[in-house]
Structure 1
Amino acid sequence: MTAVAVYSYTHSVTYVTDNILKSLKDIIRLSGLNPNDFVSDWDINARGIQTWIETGDLESVSLEIYHPRTDALIFRWEIEIAYQWTGGDGSFYTDTDQLKYAIKKAGVVPSEAKYRLLTHTKTGRPDVSGWSRTSARSTTGMVKQSLGSTIEHSGLGASTGYWRHP
């Protein structure tokens, strides 16, 4: 019985990790940016996100889209992790339609815009090769639009939102 629960949780972690990364790739691509850098770092990104979800240390994943000359934040997309895994019937979903609608509503970013992936983890989380500590750009003067739950697997899930200028 324990082996089944461990496998199910591992499956949930993998599903949520994969769909966080796919959602971020969609945000990059549909915002008018080139996803090549993101795709080339896929394994590093997956290793960090999956490790920290497994340990319960990942609180959120952020994609900062910023102007490279001014370093000003244009948008910040945030995916917050919800740890309510139940191991029940294996229900799962990813709300790609809601995400695509929100990206379209947010609008295409300037072609010269850049992006970077950040995570917010609990203090004392394990280090993961390829990841380093950094600070997020300020959202002062911006407002947050929440989309609600966008990824779910047996209670382990994620809610998405984005910061924008009013």
Structure 2
Amino acid sequence: MSTAVHVNTHAHAVTHVSTGLIRSLRQIIKESGLDPAKMTNQWPTLENGVEVWLTSRHLRSLVLEIHDPSRRQGDDLVGRFDFTINYGYYPDADGELWLDPDTVYYTVRKAGAFPSLCDYRIVADNEPGRPDVPGWSTTSLRSTAGFTRHEVGTAIGGGSLGAGLSYYTWTGS
């Protein structure tokens, strides 16, 4: 006689990755010299949306756009950080949950400083058909024309879920 045990770690991975994403965004905001109070006030809404869309597998990426409000809209992006979700990160995962805050720390250093007058917003890029979540609305991402995307690598892992981190730097004229 043999016994088989199957543990569904997806729910645990979703909670871990969701929490890790929000905490990592807060780390980027604080270390970039931006005001974390705005994000703190939105924390429950952010957590709820990210968790719902990770569970339904609609979340493609979580994006932090940093913009200069003194510039003309459409020309106001000064920096961006993307956490890109990989639902097949480690398909045979054993349930290991991890977060690498050093990756986030060094990414902020590589991206450089932002003027203190800058503002930010967090945008969830979702697959079509995503469930609606209270407090979230539709929007478009700002143009990254003139910016170069730099891939850093995976910053958060949880079972088969992974979140890769990248940042954008201005290279245009």
What TM-score, normalized by structure 2, do the two folds share?
0.90
1:18, distance to aligned residue in structure 2 (A): 0.3
1:88, distance to aligned residue in structure 2 (A): 3.6
Cα distance between partner residues in 1 of 2:148 and 2:55: 31
Cα distance between partner residues in 1 of 2:137 and 2:111: 29
Cα distance between partner residues in 1 of 2:65 and 2:140: 11
**1:163 is the counterpart of 2:168:** yes
Deviations 1:88-131 (CA, angstroms, capped at 9, x unpaired): 42222211112101101212210100000001101111100000
Identical residues among aligned pairs (%): 36
| Letter paired with 2:42 | D
Cα distance between partner residues in 2 of 1:87 and 1:141: 39
Matches within 5 A, 1:1-166: 4-5=7-8, 8-70=9-71, 71=73, 72-84=76-88, 86=91, 88-166=93-171
Cα distance between partner residues in 2 of 1:88 and 1:161: 23
Cα distance between partner residues in 1 of 2:142 and 2:111: 19
SS at match of 1:128: coil
Task: Name structure 2 gaps, 5 residues minimum.
Answer: none
| Letter paired with 1:103 | V
CA separation of 1:73 and 1:14: change in aligned 2, threshold 3 A: same
Matched positions, count: 163
Q: In terms of Rg, which structure is larger? A: 2
1:87, distance to aligned residue in structure 2 (A): 6.5
Deviations 1:110-166 (CA, angstroms, capped at 9, x unpaired): 010000000110111110000000011100010001111110011211000011102
| Structure in which a larger fraction of residues adopt helix | 1
Q: Which runs of 4+ in 1 moved over 4 A?
A: none
Task: Name structure 1 gaps, 5 residues minimum.
Answer: none
Cα distance between partner residues in 2 of 1:17 and 1:61: 10
Is the 2:111–2:168 Cα contact (8 Å) retained in structure 1? no
What TM-score, normalized by structure 1, do the two folds share?
0.93
Is the 1:68–1:114 Cα contact (8 Å) retained in structure 2? yes
Q: CA RMSD in A?
A: 1.3
